[in-house]
């Protein structure tokens, strides 16, 4: 295979794995990161003989910064960048706006680029979440097959009202971002297609270098907390 794929959130846990997979399949990769320091961490997880096939564009804020440079001469996009930290102080600033605006800005920029370079960008893959699909009020639903008709019922308003409730805010942000992406596709009719990957929790070794355990991705951090908890630790009172 050949071509260049843009990976947003290149220094993330999932981003690192995606980049290595793309390189193995023969693609060149352009990654978005916030700084040169983040570039180094991505490159540390890539075999040295493959590093020459990876380039970077700095996007400090996915909600506001331009993706114009990032999409130049790109054949496809995998949009990974989205908030997933466990601390919420402002639902809109910390989660909702970055998740929604980040996805829409990527789609808008790709659509604009294709209007001047017909059919250059062929597909955009968005790493969504099972959180955008699952309605927790319906329980575990053992044996149920989820389809594109299934959505988490949480809204933007619900997330704002939840304030510092991480799980509610995160679930709503992923739901709102994916809904916005499909609405864009339906309204603008771009020449590219999109696919959303509604992954559950993702575990495994970290390819990108970590400066500390505080930088571990959220799914792995749950496992780590189980390993490091003391025997007398108390369960939180959620009644």
Domain presence at residue 134: yes
Average pLDDT for residues 178-197, to the nearest whole number? 98
Predicted local distance difference test score (pLDDT) of residue 131: 97
Residue 128 lies in a domain: yes
Distance CA 175, CA 96 (A): 10
Asked if the structure places residue 164 within a domain, the reply is: yes
> What domain range is 108 assigned to?
4-216
Mean pLDDT of 143-156: 97
Find how far residue 236's CA is from the centre of its chain: 29
Question: Has residue 227 been placed in a domain?
Answer: no
User: So what's the pLDDT on residue 152?
Assistant: 99
In a domain, 226, yes or no: no
- Domain membership of residue 233 (yes or no) is no
Complete edge-to-edge strand list for the sheet that includes strand 4-8: 54-58, 28-33, 4-8, 76-79, 123-127, 193-197
Minimum mean pLDDT among 25-34, 95-104, 204-213, 229-238: which range?
229-238
pLDDT at residue 1 greater than cutoff 90: no
**Would you place residue 206 in the very low, low, confident or very high pLDDT band (cuts 50, 70, 90)?**
confident
Tell me which residue of 147, 127, 132 sits closest to 21, measured CA to CA.
127
Residues of the chain above pLDDT 70, percent:
95
pTM for the structure as a whole = 0.91
Dihedral pair phi/psi, residue 190, rounded to 5°: -70, 165
Count structural domains, the chain: 1
- Residue 161 belongs to a domain: yes
Give 82-128 pLDDT, tens digit per residue: 998 878 999 999 999 999 999 999 999 999 999 999 999 999 999 99
Is 231 contained in some domain? no
221 has pLDDT over 90: no
Residue 236 has pLDDT above 70, yes or no: no
**Residue 200: CATH number of its domain:** 3.40.50.720
Tell me whether residue 230 is exposed, middle or buried, using C-beta atoms within 10 angstroms of its C-beta: 0 to 12, 13 to 18, 19 or more.
Answer: exposed
């Amino acid at each position: 295979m050949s071509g260049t794929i843009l990976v947003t959130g290149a220094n993330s846990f999932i981003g690192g794995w995606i980049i290595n997979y793309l390189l193995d399949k023969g693609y060149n990769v352009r990654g978005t990161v916030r700084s040169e320091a983040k570039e180094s961490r991505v490159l540390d997880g890539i075999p040295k003989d493959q590093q020459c096939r990876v380039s970077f564009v700095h996007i400090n804020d996915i909600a506001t910064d331009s993706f114009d440079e990032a999409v130049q001469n790109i054949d496809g996009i995998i949009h990974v960048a989205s908030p997933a930290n466990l601390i919420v102080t402002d639902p809109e600033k910390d989660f909702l706006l970055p998740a929604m605006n980040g996805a829409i800005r990527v789609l808008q920029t790709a659509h604009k680029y294709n209007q001047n370079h017909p059919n250059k960008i062929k597909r955009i893959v968005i790493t969504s979440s099972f959180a955008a699909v699952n309605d927790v009020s319906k329980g575990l639903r053992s044996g149920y097959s989820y389809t594109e008709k299934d959505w988490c019922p949480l809204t933007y308003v619900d997330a704002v009202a939840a304030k510092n409730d991480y799980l509610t805010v995160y679930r709503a942000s992923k739901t709102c971002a994916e809904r916005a992406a499909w609405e864009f596709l339906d309204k603008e009719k771009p020449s590219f297609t999109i696919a959303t990957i509604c992954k559950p929790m993702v575990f495994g070794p970290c390819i990108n270098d970590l400066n500390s355990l505080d930088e571990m991705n959220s799914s792995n951090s749950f496992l780590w907390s189980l390993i490091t908890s003391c025997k007398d630790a108390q369960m939180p009172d959620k009644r």
